[in-house]
């Protein structure tokens, strides 16, 4: 009986082991997953306990929040670098749905308004700053260069390869890829999504996943290096730039522009003042020299007359 029990126990453990191994989140390496029932795997974002849908991309806001967690709360999955943008690192505030809150603040009580991609669209202010709405980013322009090679790729092949990449890896429907243009070494991708149905991924999340992949800091659980193949040849991405265009223009006030114009006007006035002062001094020197010469000449004439 004991040998039979041992065989049964071994079979049970063998069957359970793959299930535990498969309880991971393919689209988010920072998700903590647990088997809470036969065939049921639940994943939540490390530190925030926010449920994660592993069949699609995680929102950029939640990803940024996960990246800001202390190392001890994130086990061994923390990337080597934090989130860095032109405004510095901040821990974003997210809605329950995962989207950014319209107003973001840092620990120094400085606040600003962001778009749906989490990019600042106003000047920074105090805690009293009001952001009436979360303005949607409807256009995203991606520019990238690839490493030099002996033969350039064919433009249709590049378009086909990148369309397939965005559709298969990032779950983006091709209808949101407005255009892909290729000139040797330079690739331009234009994404357009005026409205996002609940079943589609957001182009801002796609751009963020793509940026992390290019920087060799993949969000996917496999953490595999991004490889793009064009007719069997590797497209080695070299540099990447991402631009965001919102439904409404940014609301930066004119203070910075006015300060710049004021500085230019000040420099011009100072330059003009110095120039005028130099001219006056030169004129005074010429006048003084002329008067000295005139007086000397008059003295000589008087001396001659007296003789």
User: Residue ranges per domain, the chain?
Assistant: 23-55, 56-65+87-246
Higher local confidence (pLDDT), 70 or 1: 70
Question: CATH number of the domain at 56-65+87-246, out of 4.10.800.10, 3.40.50.620, 3.40.30.10, 3.40.50.410?
Answer: 4.10.800.10
* Block residue for tokens 């943008």: 85
Q: Positive or negative CA dihedral for 265, 267, 268, 273?
A: positive
pTM listed for this prediction: 0.70
pLDDT, tens only, 5-44: 444 444 444 444 443 457 889 999 888 898 887 778 899 9
Q: Phi-psi bin for 89: left (phi > 0), alpha (psi -120 to 50), beta?
A: beta
Cα separation, 87 vs 110, in Å, equals: 11
Percent of the chain's residues with pLDDT above 90 = 43
For residue 43, report the phi and psi dihedrals to the nearest 5 degrees.
-120, 135
Instruction: Compare 34 and 77 and report the one with higher pLDDT.
Output: 34
Task: Work out the burial of residue 204: count CB atoms within 10 Å of its CB; fewer than 13 is exposed, 13-18 middle, 19 or more buried.
Answer: buried
Per the rule left: phi > 0, alpha: psi between -120 and 50, beta: everything else, 98 is: left
Spatial contact of 223 and 125, defined as CB atoms under 8 Å apart? no
Tell me the mean pLDDT in the region 167-177: 96
Better-predicted residue by pLDDT, 101 or 257? 101
């Amino acid at each position: 009986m004991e040998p039979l029990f041992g065989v049964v126990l071994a079979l049970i453990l063998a069957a359970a082991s793959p299930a535990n191994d498969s309880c991971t989140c393919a689209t988010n390496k920072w998700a903590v997953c647990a088997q809470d029932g036969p065939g049921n795997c639940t994943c939540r974002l490390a530190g925030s306990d926010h449920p994660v849908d592993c069949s699609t991309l995680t929102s950029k806001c939640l990803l940024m929040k996960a990246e800001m967690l202390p190392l001890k709360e994130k086990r061994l999955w923390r990337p080597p670098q934090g989130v860095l943008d032109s405004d510095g690192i901040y821990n974003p505030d997210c809605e329950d749905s995962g989207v950014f809150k319209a107003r973001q603040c840092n620990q120094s009580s400085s606040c600003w308004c962001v778009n749906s991609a989490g990019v600042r669209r106003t000047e920074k202010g105090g805690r009293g700053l009001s952001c009436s709405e979360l303005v949607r980013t409807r256009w995203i322009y991606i520019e990238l260069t690839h490493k030099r090679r002996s033969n350039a790729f064919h433009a249709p092949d590049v378009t086909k390869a990148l369309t397939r990449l965005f559709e298969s890896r990032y779950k983006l429907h091709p209808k949101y890829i407005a255009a892909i243009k290729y000139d040797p070494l330079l690739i331009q991708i234009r994404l357009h999504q005026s409205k996002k149905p609940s079943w589609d991924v957001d182009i801002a999340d796609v751009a963020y996943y793509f940026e992390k992949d290019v920087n060799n800091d993949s969000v996917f659980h496999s953490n595999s290096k991004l490889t793009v193949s064009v007719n069997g040849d590797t497209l080695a991405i070299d540099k990447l730039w991402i631009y965001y265009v919102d439904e409404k223009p940014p609301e930066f006030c004119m203070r910075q522009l006015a300060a710049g114009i004021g500085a230019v006007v000040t420099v011009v006035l100072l330059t003009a003042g110095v120039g005028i002062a130099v001219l006056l001094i030169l004129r005074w020197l010429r006048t003084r020299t002329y008067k000295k010469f005139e007086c000397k000449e008059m003295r000589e004439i008087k001396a001659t007359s007296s003789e």
